[in-house]
Chain A
Amino acid sequence: MSSSAALTWFARHEIRLAWREALAMLTAGRKGRKRTAIIGLLVFAAIMHLPAYAVIGRFADLQEPLDKSTLIVITATILLAWALMLSQAIESVTRVLYARADLDLIMSSPVPLASVFSVRIAAIALSVIAMALLLSTPFVDVLVIGGGWRWLSAFGVVVAIGLTAAAAAIAVAVLLFRLIGPSRTRLVAQILAAVIGAGFVIALQVAAILSYGTLSRFAVLTSDAAAVFAPALDSLVWWPARAALGDGEALLWLLAGGLVLLGAVMAIFSPRFADTVVSASANSATAHQTPRPKAFHAGSRQQALRWKEFVLLRRDPWLVSQSLMQLLYLVPPALLLWKSFADSDAAMVLITPVIVMAAGQLAGGLAWLTISGEDAPDLVATAPIAASRVTRAKIEVVLIAIAVIFAPLLLALACAAPLQAAVTASGIVVAAASATAIQLWFRVQARRSQFRRRQTSSRFATFAEAFSSIGWAATAVLALALPIAGLISGMITAAIVAVTWMISPRRD
C-alpha cells in the first residue's frame, strides 16, 4: 500500500470510528438499537424545527443594511456556536492525546507519524463540523424556508468556524501540554471543555439579569451600551454575520481563513504531536501521597468503604468539577429569582427551590459515582460484608456529602428564617434521597471515568432524576407559599418517583 493510499485508508478508519462512537452515544452502547436511534434522531431533528422557528423564525427576513444590534446578536450566536465547537474539539484532542491503547497500535505502524496525526487532526475538525451541521440544520432550514436560499451560506459559516475551533483546540491542548505538563493538561483541558460551552451562555445570562433583570441574553446584546462599544459597521468582526446572511465574498474569506488556520496548525503541530503523544503515553502519574492508610481501618467495615469513597472523590478534581458543573447552571435562575423579588417578602422564599434542585442534581451525580462507578467491583463483592451494608455505606456517603455542602447554606438561612430553613432542609433530604434511590434502582457496573456518559446508560433514569429534583424544588417553595399546592405537588412528585421504581429493573 502506497503512503497516500495508507493515509486515505487511515482517514476512512477515523471517520468510521467517529461514526461508531456517535452511534454508541445514541444507542447507549446497546446492540440492535441502531435503526431505532437513527429514526429517533430524524424525528428529533424534525421536531427541533419547531423550537428553531420559535427562536429565530423572526430573523429570516433580515436584509442588508443591518444595524449594529442585529449584527451583535448574530455575531454572538455564531460565537456561542464556536465556543461549543471549541469545547467539543478540546475534548476530542484530549482523547487523541491520552487514548493510549489506540495510539500504541498507530505509533508502532510503519506510517509517517506526522501524516497520521495530520489525518487525525483533520478527523477531529470533520467530526466537530459534522456535529455542528447536524445541530444547526433545523435552524438554517427555518431561515431558508422563511428568508430564501441565501441563508444556505450559514452552513458555510458553520464549516468555517468548525475549522477554526478545531485549530484553536489543538493549539490550546499542545500549548497547555508544554506549559503545565501531561497530567495537568488532561485535567485542565477536560475542565476547560466543560466550562467553555456552558460558561458563555451563563455569563451572558448573568450579565442580562444583573443589567436588565431578565434571563434573556438578548437583553445585553441588543442594549444601547453594547452598540456603543461595538466596532464600526464595516469592521471585519461582522464578516461571519454577513457571511451567514449570504455575503458570498465574506463566506469565501471565512472558509479560506479557516482552512489556512487549520493547515497552519497541522503543519506546525503535527510533527510535534507525535512527541507530545509519546510524552503523554509515557507519563506515569507518580503522585506521591502522605501515607494515610490508618484511616481505612479506624472503624467498621462500612467506615472503610465510606472513607474510600471520600478519598476517591477528593483525589479526582475532574469528577468533582463535572458534578459541580450541574450547579453552575442554577446560578442564572437563582440570580433572576433573587433580583426579581429582591424588594418583596418573597425574595428569601425563592432561594429554597434553587437549593433543593441543586441538592437533587448533585446527589444524583454523587450517587452514580459511589453506587455504579465502582472500579473494583470484584473486591467489594467478595468482601465479607453483606451487599445491603455496602449499598447503605455508599448511600451514606452521598447523604453526608450533601449535608456537608448544604449545611452552611441552611445555617445561614436558619438565622434569617427558621421555618424556611426547616422546609428547605426537608426538601434537600427528600430530593437527595429520591435522586439517590433512582440511581440505585438503575445502577449499572461502570468505571468512574465513564461518568460523563452515565446519562446515556438510562435516559429514563436521567429524566426521572431531573423531574424528581424539579418536583421536590417546586414542592418546597409551594409548601412555604401555598401549603395546599405544596401538598399536591409533593404527591405528584412522589408518584413520579414511585412510577420510576415500578419501571426500574428492581434489585434486591
Chain B
Amino acid sequence: MKSDVSALELRGLTKRFDRLAVDALDLTVRTGEFYALLGPNGAGKTTTLRMVAGLLRPDAGSVSVLGIDALADPVTAKQVTAWVSDEPMVYDKLTPLEYLAFVAGLWGIDPAVSERSAHDLLVSLSLEPHLHERCEGFSKGMRQKVALAGALVHDPRLIILDEPLTGLDAVSARHVKGLLCDRVRSGCTVIMTTHILEVAERMADRIGVIASGRLVAEGTLTELRQQDGRNDTSLEDMFIALVDTEAAAA
C-alpha cells in the first residue's frame, strides 16, 4: 500500500557536534514504504534518525512526520512514531509484559487492545516462555526483541529502527523481518539503518546512502544500478564505490 503522502520529510536538516554530523539533509520517505538508510560508521545515519524521533534537536532544518511538524508539535508526531535503537534499553526489573504495558500506558493505548497485542507480539517473537520473567537475565537478543515489541505495541504509523537486527539469531531475525514486512503491507512506514546490505537489498523498497551527513545516492535497487551504469552490480559493490568516491571527495 503505497501513497504519495510523505511519511517523513526532512528539509535542510543540520546538526553539528564537534564536526558537522548532518549537513543540510533533504530526504523524503513515502507512506507505506520500507526505506533502508545505509552509510559507513559516523556518516550521520543515527544522528538523523535521532532528530526525527525527537531525541536530538537539529541546529537547522525541518522535520515533518506524516504531515506533522515534529519540531513545532513533537508530542503529536511522537504519537504516531516508534523508535528502536541498536542498544536495547529495557527495564531490568520489569517483565516483558509489564514493559509493554508501560509503553502502552505512555502512548495512552486502550488496555483491552494493547494487552492482546502485547501478548501476540511477544509470542510471535518467541518470548512466550519468558513473559513473566524479569528482563535482567535476558540476553541482548531477547532484550532487543522486547524493545522491538514495545515499539510495535502502540501500532505506530512510522517505525524508525537503528540496526534492529544486531544481536539477533537467524530465526529471531527472520521473525523480526517478517513482522516489519507485515507492518509495511498494512500501510505502516519503516525506516531502518543496517550494515547488513543483503537485508536492505531484499527488504527495502528504496535505499538511501548517506555519507558525511549528506545523501549521496537514493532510489530502488534498479535505480541505483542505473545510476552506477551497470545492471549486474551488487548493492555491496555500489555502496563501497559510493562511499569511496565520497571519501576521496572529502
> B-contacting residues of A (Cβ < 8 Å)?
283-298, 300-301, 303-305, 307-308, 311-312, 315-316, 375-386
Residue of A nearest to B115 (CB): A293
Instruction: Give the A-binding residues of B (Cβ under 8 A).
Output: 53-55, 75-76, 78-79, 81-83, 85, 89-95, 97-98, 100-109, 111, 114-115, 118, 131-134, 136-138, 147, 150
| CB contact under 8 A between A304 and B89, given known A286-B137, A386-B75 | no
**Complex A-B: 5 CB contacts under 8 Å:** A293-B102, A297-B109, A378-B85, A379-B106, A382-B81
| C-alpha gap A246/B133 in the complex (Å) | 58
Interchain CB contact under 8 A, A287 and B101? no
Contact A384 B76 (CB under 8 A): yes
B105 to chain A: which residues have CB within 8 Å? 296-297, 301, 303-304, 307
Could you tell me the distance in whole angstroms from the C-beta of B165 to the nearest C-beta in chain A?
18
Known: A296-B102, A383-B107. A285 touches B94 (CB 8 A): no
CB pair A287–B133 under 8 Å, yes or no, is yes
* A285-B137 CB under 8 A given contacts A297-B105, A376-B90, A381-B54: yes
A284 engages B137 (CB within 8 Å)? yes
Ordered nearest first, which 10 A-B pairs have the shortest CB separation? A304-B105, A284-B137, A293-B101, A297-B105, A384-B79, A296-B101, A315-B93, A384-B78, A383-B106, A376-B89
Name which residue of chain A comes closest to B114, CB basis: A297
| A492 CB to nearest chain B CB (Å) | 38
Complex Cα gap A311–B106 (Å): 15
A383 cross-chain contacts in B, Cβ below 8 A: 78, 103, 106-107
Query: Are A296 and B107 within 8 A (Cβ)?
Result: no
CB–CB A312/B106 < 8 A:
no
Nearest-neighbour CB distance to chain A for B173, whole angstroms, equals: 21
Question: Is A382's CB under 8 angstroms from B55's CB?
Answer: yes
Known: A286-B134, A375-B92, A376-B91. 14 other contacts (CB 8 A): A284-B137, A286-B137, A288-B133, A295-B101, A297-B104, A297-B111, A304-B105, A304-B106, A312-B91, A312-B93, A382-B54, A382-B82, A383-B78, A385-B75
Smallest CB gap from B134: residue in A: A287
Say how far A192's CB is from chain B's closest CB, in angstroms.
21
Of listed B93, B98, B107, B108, residue having the most chain A CB within 10 A: B93
Q: Report A-chain residues with C-beta under 8 Å of the C-beta of B150.
A: 379
Docked CA distance A438–B135 (Å):
32
**Contact with B101, one of A294, A312, A375 (Cβ below 8 angstroms):** A294
Cα A284 to Cα B92 with chains together (Å): 12
B98: chain A residues within 8 A (beta carbon): 289, 291-293, 296, 311
Complex Cα distance, B241 from A487, in Å, reads 74
**Do B55 and A379 have beta carbons less than 8 Å apart?**
no
Select the residue from B82, B106, B107, B137 with max chain A CB neighbours within 10 A. Answer: B106
Q: A297-B111, A311-B94, A383-B106 are in contact. Are A289 and B134 (CB under 8 A)?
A: yes
Q: Which residues of chain B are near A377, meaning CB under 8 Å?
A: 89
Inter-chain contacts of A303 with B (CB < 8 A): 105
Q: Which of B54, B81, B90 has the most CB of A within 10 A?
A: B54
**Distance between Cα atoms of A373 and B136 in the complex (Å):** 16
- Give, as a whole number of angstroms, the nearest-CB distance from A301 to chain B: 5
Q: Which residues of A contact B81 (CB under 8 A)?
A: 382
A308, B102: Cβ atoms under 8 Å? yes
Complex: A380 Cα to B85 Cα, angstroms? 13
Docked complex Cα distance between A81 and B150 (Å): 49
**In contact, B93 and A283 (Cβ under 8 angstroms):** no
Q: In the complex, A308 Cα to B90 Cα: how many Å?
A: 12
Decide: A375 and B90 in contact? CB cutoff 8 A: yes
A378 touches B93 (CB 8 A): no
In the complex, what residues of B have CB within 8 A of residue A283's CB? 137
Q: Choose one: A286, A305, A316; the contact of B106 (CB below 8 Å).
A: A305
A288→B132 contact, CB < 8 A: yes
The answer to whether A379 and B94 touch across the interface, beta carbons within 8 angstroms, is: no
CA distance A251 to B247 in the complex (A): 68
Closest residue of chain A to B88 (Cβ to Cβ) is A376
Q: Which chain A residue lies CB-closest to B54? A: A382
**Contact A293-B137, Cβ < 8 Å, known A376-B91, A382-B54:** no
Quick one: which of B101, B133, B136 contacts A297, CB cutoff 8 A? B101
Contact A293 B106 (CB under 8 A): no
- Taking CB as reference atom, which chain A residue is nearest B131? A291
Residues of A within 8 A of B79 (CB): 384
Find out whether the CB atom of B55 lies under 8 angstroms from the CB atom of A381: yes
- Contact check, A380 vs B95: say whether CB atoms are below 8 A apart: no
Interface centre among B78, B104, B105, B109, by most chain A C-beta atoms within 10 angstroms, is: B105
Q: Is the CB of B101 within 8 A of A289?
A: no
What's the Cα separation between A315 and B92 when bound, in Å? 10
Q: Which residue of A lies closest to B108 (CB)?
A: A301
From residue A161, how far is it (CB to closest CB) to chain B in Å?
36
Q: Are B94 and A378 in contact (CB under 8 A)?
A: no
Complexed CA–CA distance, A304 and B105 (Å): 5
Best-surrounded residue of B78, B79, B102 (most CB of chain A within 10 A): B102
Q: How far is the CA of A435 from the CA of B141 in the complex (A)?
A: 39
CB B50 to nearest CB in A, in angstroms, measures 8
The interface residues of chain A lying within 8 Å CB-to-CB of B133 are 286-289
Nearest B-chain residue to A386, judged by Cβ: B75
Whole-angstrom distance between the Cβ of A55 and the nearest chain B Cβ: 43
Separation of A95 and B188 alpha carbons in the complex (Å): 45
Residues of A within 8 A of B147 (CB): 379
Tell me the complex Cα distance, A47–B28, Å.
63
Selected contact of B108 from candidates A286, A307, A311, A384, CB within 8 Å: A384
Contact A289 B95 (CB under 8 A): yes
Name the residue of chain B whose CB is nearest to the CB of A297.
Answer: B105
**How far, in angstroms, from A296 to B101 measured CA to CA in the complex?**
6
CB distance from A211 to the nearest CB of B (A): 43
Which residues of B sit under 8 angstroms from A301, Cβ to Cβ?
A: 105-108
Minimum CB distance partner of B52 in chain A: A382
B82 CB contacts on chain A under 8 angstroms: 382
Distance in angstroms between the alpha carbons of A293 and B132 in the assembled complex: 10
Give min CB distance, A393 to chain B, whole Å. 10
Question: Cα distance A379–B54 when bound, in Å?
Answer: 11
Q: Which residues of A contact B111 (CB under 8 A)?
A: 294, 297-298
A390 CB to closest chain B CB (Å) equals 9
A497 to B76, CA, bound (A): 36
Closest to A286 in B: B133
Q: Are B55 and A378 in contact (CB under 8 A)?
A: yes
Bound-state CA distance A349–B58 (Å) is 55
Q: Closest CB-CB distance, A313 to chain B, in whole Å?
A: 9
Report which residue of A285, A291, A297 has the largest number of chain B beta carbons within 10 angstroms of its beta carbon: A297
Q: In chain A, what residue has the closest Cβ to B82?
A: A382
Q: How far is the CA of A85 from the CA of B141 in the complex (A)?
A: 39
